[in-house]
Structure 1
Amino acid sequence: MQTEKVAEYIINWLKEYAINANMQGFVIGVSGGIDSAVASTLCAKTGMRVLCLEMPIHQDPNQVSRARKHIDELEHNFANVSSLEINLTSVFEEFRNAMPQERETSNVDLSLANSRARLRMTTLYYFAGIHKFLVAGTGNMVEDFGVGFYTKYGDGGVDLSPLADLMKSEVYILGGYLNIIEEIMHAAPTDGLFGDSRSDEDQLGASYDELEWAMNANSAGKNADDYEGRKRKVFEIYQRLNSANQHKMLPIPVCDIPIHLKK
C-alpha cells in the first residue's frame, strides 16, 4: 500500500465531500481504538473543524484513558480540533429501566449493547445538526462488508466512511504513518459495548488477520471444504457471520408494488 498517498487521498476526499455538501466539518466518536483514532486524525488533517466526542456508558477505564490521550494529542497538534465528553451512562440506565424484564438473557444483553451504540449515534447527530457537521464513520472493510460487525443504525449510522475500503491491517499501517499513540496501536480491538474488557476476537471467534484471510479466500471463490483445521473453522465463522449480517450490508429492501395494484 502506498501509505502516504492513501492518507492524502482520504484527507482530500473528506474535505471535498464536506465542501460539496456545504458542511462545516466533522463530528466523530473516539473510543480508544485504532479505527476511531485513524479516522479522527484524517479528519483533523483536512483543516476543517472536527469535534471529537467521548461517550462513555459504563466504560472500561482503559478505553476511556486511551481515548482521552488520543484526543489530547489531536488538540495539541491541530487547532481545528475540539472535544467534549458526554457521559451517557445515566441515559442508558433510564432506557434500560424503562424496558420490560425479559427472560432471554443473552438476547437482552446483545440488544442492550446495541442500544448503547444507538444512543451514541443519536448524540453524534445532535451535535452534527447544531454545527453543520458530517458524522464520520470509523468502520473498516472487514467489519462493514465482511462480517457485519457493527450495530445497524448505531456505529453503522454515519454520513461518510473514510476507512471502509481498507482492511484492518491497512488501518494499522495508516496508524503507524499517522503516529497514533502506542497504547492504541497495541490495544486489543474491542467495540466496548458490554462495559467490560472483552475483545472483538472474543466475540467473533477469530482475529482480524484471520478474517481478512477468509474474506480474501471467499472472494477468490474458495469454500470451507478447501481447508482443514483452524483455517476451515475460521472460514466457516466468516461465512456464517457474512450470511447472518447481510441485512446490515445490503440496502433497505423496498416493497415494489405492481403498478396495476396502485390504479
Structure 2
Amino acid sequence: MQTEKVIDHIVNWLKDYATNAKVSGFVVGISGGIDSAVTSVLCAKTKLPVLCLEMPIHQAQTHVNRAQEHLTFLTHQYSNVSSQHVDLTPTFETFKTSVTLEGSQAVVDMALANTRARLRMTTLYYYAGLNNLLVAGTGNKIEDFGVGFYTKYGDGGVDLSPIADLLKSEVYALGEALAVPQSIMKAAPSDGLFGDARSDEDQIGASYPELEWAMAMTEQGKLAHDFSGREQDVFKIYTRYNANNQHKMRPIPICKIPEDLK
C-alpha cells in the first residue's frame, strides 16, 4: 500500500465531501483505539474544524488513559481540533432504571453494550447538529463488511466512513505514518462496550490478521472443507459472523406494495 498517497487521498476526499455538503467540518468519537485515532488525525489534516468527543460509560481506565493521551497529541498538533469530555455514565445508569432487565445475564449484557454505542451515536449527532458538522465513522473494512463487528445505529450510525475500505492491518500502517501514540498502536483492539479490558479477539474468537486471511479466502471462493485445523476454525468463525450480521451490512429491507394494491 502506498501509505502517504492513501492518506492524501482520504484527506482530500473528506475535504471535498464536507465542502459539497456545505458543512463546517467533522465530529469524531475518541475511544483510545486505533480506528478512532487514525480517523481523527485524517479529519484533522483537512484543516477544517474537528470536534473530538470522549464519551466514557464505565470505561476501563486503560481506555480512558489512551483516549486522553491521543486527545492531548491531537490538540497540540492541530490548531483546528477541539475536544470535549461528555460523561455518559449517569445517562446510561438512568436508562437502566427505566427499562426491564429481563433475560439471561449474557443477553442483558449484550443489549446494554449496544445501548452504550447508541447513546454515543446520539451524542455525536447532537454536537454535529449544534456545530454544522458531519459524524465521521471509525469502522474498518473487516468490521464493516467482513464480520459486522459493530452496533447497528450505534457506531454504525455515521455520515461518512473514511477508513471503511481499509483492512485493520492497513489502518495500523496509516497509524504509524500519522504518528499515532504508541500506547494505542500496541494496545489490543477492543470495542470497550463492556466496561472491562476484553479484546475484540476475546469476543470474536479470532485475531484481525486471521480474519483478514479468511476474508481473502472467501473472496477467492474457498469453502470450509478446503482447510483444516486452526485455518478451518477461523474460516468458520468468519463465515458465521458474516452470515449472522448481514442485516447490518445490507440496506434496510423495504416492503414493496404491488401497484394493484395501491
Aligned to 1:158: 158
In the alignment, the residues of structure 2 paired with residue 43 and residue 250 of structure 1 have an alpha-carbon distance, to the nearest angstrom, of 27
Aligned to 1:95: 95
Equivalenced residue count is 262
Aligned to 2:241: 241
> Under a length normalisation based on structure 1, what TM-score does the superposition of the two structures give?
0.99
In the alignment, the residues of structure 2 paired with residue 257 and residue 103 of structure 1 have an alpha-carbon distance, to the nearest angstrom, of 36
- Tell me which amino acid in the other structure corresponds to 2:238: Y
Aligned to 1:176: 176
In the alignment, the residues of structure 2 paired with residue 5 and residue 139 of structure 1 have an alpha-carbon distance, to the nearest angstrom, of 20
In the alignment, the residues of structure 2 paired with residue 76 and residue 233 of structure 1 have an alpha-carbon distance, to the nearest angstrom, of 45
1:208 is displaced (CA, Å) by: 0.3
- Tell me which amino acid in the other structure corresponds to 1:50: V
Map of 1:1-263 to 2, 5 A cutoff?
Answer: 1-262=1-262
In the alignment, the residues of structure 1 paired with residue 41 and residue 100 of structure 2 have an alpha-carbon distance, to the nearest angstrom, of 41
- Tell me which amino acid in the other structure corresponds to 1:142: I
Root-mean-square deviation over aligned CA pairs? 0.4
- Tell me which amino acid in the other structure corresponds to 1:83: S
SS of 2:26's equivalent? strand
In the alignment, the residues of structure 1 paired with residue 98 and residue 104 of structure 2 have an alpha-carbon distance, to the nearest angstrom, of 17
Structure 1 runs not aligned, ≥5 long: none
> Under a length normalisation based on structure 2, what TM-score does the superposition of the two structures give?
0.99
Deviations 1:31-77 (A, max 9, x none): 00000000000000000000000000000001001000101111001
Between the two proteins, what is the percent identity of the paired residues? 64
SS of 1:238's equivalent? helix
Shift >4 Å, 4+ stretches: none
1:100 is displaced (CA, Å) by: 1.2
1:106 is displaced (CA, Å) by: 1.1
In the alignment, the residues of structure 1 paired with residue 101 and residue 165 of structure 2 have an alpha-carbon distance, to the nearest angstrom, of 40
1:103 is displaced (CA, Å) by: 2.8
Structure 2 runs not aligned, ≥5 long: none
1:101 is displaced (CA, Å) by: 2.8
Deviations 1:110-132 (A, max 9, x none): 00000000000000000000000
